[in-house]
Chains A and B, each alone.
Chain A
Amino acid sequence: KAGVTQTPRYLIKTRGQQVTLSCSPISGHRSVSWYQQTPGQGLQFLFEYFSETQRNKGNFPGRFSGRQFSNSRSEMNVSTLELGDSALYLCASSPNPGQGGHGYTFGSGTRLTVV
């Protein structure tokens, strides 16, 4: 079965711009979570979505937002980009929410570079 698909794989943006990243979960998976990976910080939780509702939010500024559609696909948006937003953004899907990491399948990520 197809895995978690994240698009685009690579992105270069200029400071002040905004960006939208997309995540298509595994078919049948209804929960999507987003993580930011930066060197030295590991993976940091951004949000968790289920049934088009945000269940959990990490400690990120309001410039980071997301949503989930009725087909479980999810997007995240970062507005007014800063250099520090350069990171690998990972999406994980799971059959149901709140499984504590079990059943998580991660996508390969979107590498965002802000210049």
Chain B
Amino acid sequence: DQQVKQNSPSLSVQEGRISILNCDYTNSMFDYFLWYKKYPAEGPTFLISISSIKDKNEDGRFTVFLNKSAKHLSLHIVPSQPGDSAVYFCAAPTGGTSYGKLTFGQGTILTVHP
């Protein structure tokens, strides 16, 4: 049972444009979400998070939006840069933030073309 889903395996955008990565979840008990970025041959690194009490969180070029009624979140990168090319994972802690287990989506490969 895939509780966190990223239905787009890949996304290609032009440098300077907006990248929108999507994530859907099925467990309404999830109350916190994280996005990680992963370069080849490296471990994932934390990018941005959002609590379910918010519908938006911004950090520089990165904004995450949460639509609880649709059980959907999205990561917007504006403007996109070639260095943003990586695999992006959304994730949610099981049992709220009191547990260390993260449930991840399958990942979306973002390619930003110069």
User: A: which residues have CB within 8 A of B?
Assistant: 4, 31, 33, 35, 40-45, 48, 55-56, 58, 90, 92, 94, 97-102, 104-109
Query: Whose C-beta in chain B lies nearest to the C-beta of A59?
Result: B1
B29-40 interface bits toward A, Cβ cutoff 8 Å, 1 = contact, 0 = none: 000101000000
**Set of chain B residues within 8 Å of A109, measured between Cβ atoms:** 43
User: B: which residues have CB within 8 A of A?
Assistant: 4, 6, 9, 32, 34, 41-46, 49, 89, 91, 93-94, 96-107
Most-contacted residue by chain B among A42, A94, A105 (CB, 10 A)? A42
* A100 contacts B43, C-beta separation under 8 Å: no
Cα(A44)–Cα(B94), bound, Å: 12
Cα(A90)–Cα(B42), bound, Å: 10
* B104 contacts A42, C-beta separation under 8 Å: yes
Residue of B32, B45, B101, B105 near A33 (CB, 8 A) is: B101
